[in-house]
Structure 1
Amino acid sequence: MDKIKPSSSTKPRPVKRASKSTGKPATKKRAPGRPAADSPDLRDRLMGAALACFVRKGIAATSLRDIATEAGVTPALLHYYFGDKDQLQAEVIAQKIIPIFIGLREPLLQAGDDIAALIAGFVSGIGRIVAEHPWLPPLWVREVLCEGGALRDLLFDRIGPQLPQMMAARFAEAQAKGRINPDLDPRLLMVSLVGLTLFPAAGAPIWRRLFNAEDLNFDIVRLHTLALLDRGLELDHAE
């Protein structure tokens, strides 16, 4: 098919009428709640505002109006981008939470049969996550551990099969080969790992005040945890 060639008979395009006040071409007004074209990062900022509200108030107690106030926008803008709160919550989980655990899992897969490296990688990985995302431990306690938490299904359906269950299976294999303490339960070992990493981070404001322990940063906690696990696992005595 031939391309349409410009012709001198082509009708000229209509010119926008100038504004009386400025003399500039008039611009069509946006509908209420519709975003400006020059805000490509607004969607991410809205999800960040939602996450901040979820951490501070809890997911169930947070309304779209709360999130709009946090972000400095109208609820109509949130509806435009996400539809409703459930869809916004799903986006926050998919874009802000799940990638964190994927980033934790990938290095652990490279540990292979080295249980010491697997455990050290998990402990160090949690330390990195807490440093980069200090909101995660309290959110985890509120929305996963507490009854009725909005993220409990996320643990069972997405995170559990990819991380805790994978590591427990690795521990069971190592135990069957005589590489770790036979008195340990591989499943409870994973529970202990979470208890020695996420819980101290979530409760840090309490135990630091209780023991006047502001000097205990996560590097010290990490070394303490690895030393404790090393003795309990009897890794030095494994054949």
Structure 2
Amino acid sequence: MNRKKPSPTTAPAAARGRGRPASAAVDREARERLIDAAVTLFSERGIAATPLSAVARAAHVTPALLHYYFGNKENLVDAIVEERFVPIVSQVVHKLSGIEATPRAAFTTFVQEVTATLSTHPWLPPLWLREVVTEGGQLRERIVGHMAPRLAQPLVGLVRQAQAEGRLNPAIEPRLIMVSLIGLTVFPFAAQGIWRPLFEAGDVTAESLARHVLALLLDGLLLPDK
């Protein structure tokens, strides 16, 4: 009697024959679903509080298939960093490298790129707060290791150079510039469940948020005295 072959998206690794997936397209799609499910659940519950079985259920695959792709949670987290966070950082770095090296141009590009990215990746702000900002977060060392040399340090250097040339407010502390940029861009998305209903701000878009942040950064709060 012929037995029905198990689906490649639900079968355990032993049914796949020498570890090779039955279909490359199905293989990629199932793996992407697992990573998407993981970032969503990790942002809602935290990495430590999310069992791999919950990730498998959310992705509609078996725990055995998750193990086939990642082996354990540590490898899954590494995949999230390499395939979700690093491309985002790389995109911002690429945009910054293609502009005129002035603080105004750099800050404008950073704010516009980050706000646009966060508006299309709703899992990122809460995951950032849970696992990067919070003490003991499992992404802190991984993310900071990618961001500091590629993004933060060049911006610090740009601020210092502009101050030395007399083109930037000397009261600005260069080592806090990334703290300010992250606070002005990431936090509004992470806290929008509070300020949107509180201020009836459901119509605030990523573009209007970027304009607001850039007005604060580049022009300040107060108008010149007349």
Q: Under a length normalisation based on structure 1, what TM-score does the superposition of the two structures give? A: 0.81
2:210 aligns with: 222
Question: Which sections of structure 1, spanning at least 5 residues, go unmatched?
Answer: 1-18, 234-239
Distance 1:27 1:207, change over 3 A: closer
2:113 aligns with: 125
Equivalent residues of 1:64, 1:75 under 8 A apart: yes
Report the residue type matching 2:22 in the other structure: A
Match among 22, 25, 43 for residue 37 of structure 1:
22
Which shifted more, 166-175 or 206-215? 206-215
Superposition misfits of 4+ residues, deviation over 4 angstroms: 26-32
Match among 61, 76, 91 for residue 103 of structure 1:
91
1:81 aligns with: 69
Match among 155, 180, 184 for residue 192 of structure 1:
180
Distance 1:30 1:136, change over 3 A: closer
1:64 aligns with: 52
Which shifted more, 118-127 or 26-35? 26-35
**2-side partners of 1:102 and 1:59: how far apart?**
24
Shift of 1:127: 1.4
**2-side partners of 1:119 and 1:30: how far apart?**
49
The structure richer in helix per residue is 2
1:50 aligns with: 38
1:194-219 alpha-carbon deviations (Å, 9 max, x no partner): 11111111111111122122222222
Q: Which has the higher contact order (CA 8 A, sep 6+)?
A: 2
Equivalent residues of 1:168, 1:186 under 8 A apart: yes
Which shifted more, 215-224 or 194-203? 215-224
Distance 1:145 1:27, change over 3 A: closer
Shift of 1:227: 1.3
Which shifted more, 217-226 or 114-123? 217-226
Report the residue type matching 2:89 in the other structure: F
1:176-206 alpha-carbon deviations (Å, 9 max, x no partner): 1011111111122222111111111111111
2:224 aligns with: none
Q: Tell me the percent identity.
A: 42
Shift of 1:113: 2.2
Question: Which sections of structure 2, spanning at least 5 residues, go unmatched?
Answer: 222-226
How many residues align? The count is: 210
1:160 aligns with: 148
Which shifted more, 181-190 or 117-126? 181-190
Distance 1:28 1:190, change over 3 A: closer
Distance 1:29 1:145, change over 3 A: closer
Larger Rg: 1
